Structure 1
Amino acid sequence: MAIGEPASLTQGALRSTSEAPPAHYILNIQQFSALTKHDVERYESNEFEAGGYKWKLVIHPNGNKTKNAGECLSVYLAITDTASLTPSWEVYATFSIFLLDQNNDTYLKVEDEKTNGRRFHRLRTEWGFDQFISFKAFSDPNNAYLVGDNCVFGAEVFVRKERSKGKTESVSMVKDAVSYKNTWKVSNYSKLNADCVSSHMFSVGDHKWNVQLYPNGKGGIGGYISLKLALAEPQNLPPGTKILAEFTLRMLDQLDTRHYYGKASYWFSASKPEWGWQRFVSHGVFFLTNRGLLLKDVCSIEAEIAIHGESRTVFG
């Protein structure tokens, strides 16, 4: 619980600290005080996509007056772009809302205690937290949530099931997911001439994967190496299947333990079979002779993957 928070804020919400950033959306607000001074009742973020639906973060900078929020910031998740759905559509989703501690590079993570998900439907398109955080804790410099009048929110949304246009989505989550590692040694790196080089296939969670390396960056961005994790055979997935994978890609320092890495969570599917970093590491760092990212023309890349869930759509 954040410093100075009243005990009442623990009701209906689970609060923790997360080192991993939110998987689906980050909202950076500069000059936050301008929202409060101009008495903006609510601020809606741009749309973002998660679980096959579009969402927005909704922030009441002065608290939601209709919900008796008191001296607290109110933050909600709203489903959007529902015009194409039938009047009886329903989406059950679990979600977390994040707030960045800018000193420690960690996040306050607030989750709904209702673990089977909230039901979003035509008459209830928003769920969230009337008392997300008290104004006192939000502005306390010891918490570093508001620094230089700037703050950063985020969101993760996981669709558990849906009922829309005669189809149902079933999500199976893994309680204690096990991580698997695979190491790929790229030999004769200086002789690579392809835009993209793929590792051998390896299996994790009943699916085959590989790592994709772009020596000169994907899309010719130049000056960087792009690195991505990909489903090796996405065309073999049943229609509507999505796999939630938490993964870390590490470029190993073969002289030291100063490995270069990126960590993320992503729903992989046939239409979105890959995810990673366009600017994973710059050429300037990669080719440093006092680093071991490239040693004797060999680059060593480790993929660590844990499957946290799988979603399948049943058409009825």
Structure 2
Amino acid sequence: METEAVMEQGLLDVGILPCNLKSSVSVPARNHQKLSTTVREETRTRPPNSYCVKFESFATMSKLVAGNGDKYESRPFSAGGYNWTFLIYPNVNKPVGSGGYVSLYVKIDNSSFIATQTEVYAWIKFLTYKSTTDTYHELHATEAQRFHLFKQEYGMLTFLEIGYYQNPAYGFIFNGGQSVFGVDIVVSKPPATWEDVAYEENIRDPVLDWRITNFSTRDKVSYTSDTFSSGGRNWVLKVYPNGAGSATGNSLSLYLLSASNEKGYVKAKFRVINQTPSKNVEKQVDGWPNAKENGWGVDTLIPLADIKDPSKGFLVKDTIRFEVEILAFSRTNSISN
């Protein structure tokens, strides 16, 4: 609970927390009102977590507030980084339209909006203690409520029939007429950071030309190119001369990797350049990074037999050439509020 009970001297026993009361009176079943589909009614044992008000006498308070707009307004309290007050209307048709119901409202301090012109979204739950079951009767909306400079209050016009606070058998008044009301306020704060995702097609400097010399004598499993820039991002190429995965021993494998380990959608063309010249080998990739390399590429770019065949023109003076053309990619920018 963010704030303990704070009420008018003489109407409250401030030495006892109003949310820790018990009784064992047997009561008749209650006939519930028909609720809107946007309002839910629940029962719980957990006390209110934002603020709690106990009237030492519901009947006395009902009379006293008649000269105060027929409402009791609590002292200010803090919840979710904002100051609030809790409004309780215990009399018939106050406010107008409430009929024979107690009405409960919360009001946010308007100074929260004057300086920043902002708005606040908060989940609000209203509660009252029922001594016969040692539980709390709760009503709450199914959506967060919006508060701003021109809408500072929100509440339940028909929270609970006043008659239930006039007969101790129902459990909502106890110990000689005491009653307890409470509220939960959970402020929904905007995200501190968020992402802006765009799809870019007109890529600046889209082509990388990578030459590997002494290709036939290289005996490592894989080789990585120097970093290159394309579209404002840094990339590297990774080649498996003897293939990777299921292509091992059969085909050369080539991958495009993000130098900063970014993940996103990429569309690119992978080529093995024919140096005769003749027709290049070209395969297109479009999609999200694969799990194996965390990049984009082709396992079976070109058969190893075609590379080794001098008549094919792909390996000249023991040099092989690759070309990757980046056609498009998704770009994600993180933005902080």
TM bucket, shorter chain: 0.3 to 0.5
State the TM-score, normalizing by the size of structure 2: 0.44
**RCO higher in 1 or 2 (8 Å CA, sep ≥ 6)?**
1
Q: Which structure has the greater CA radius of gyration? A: 2
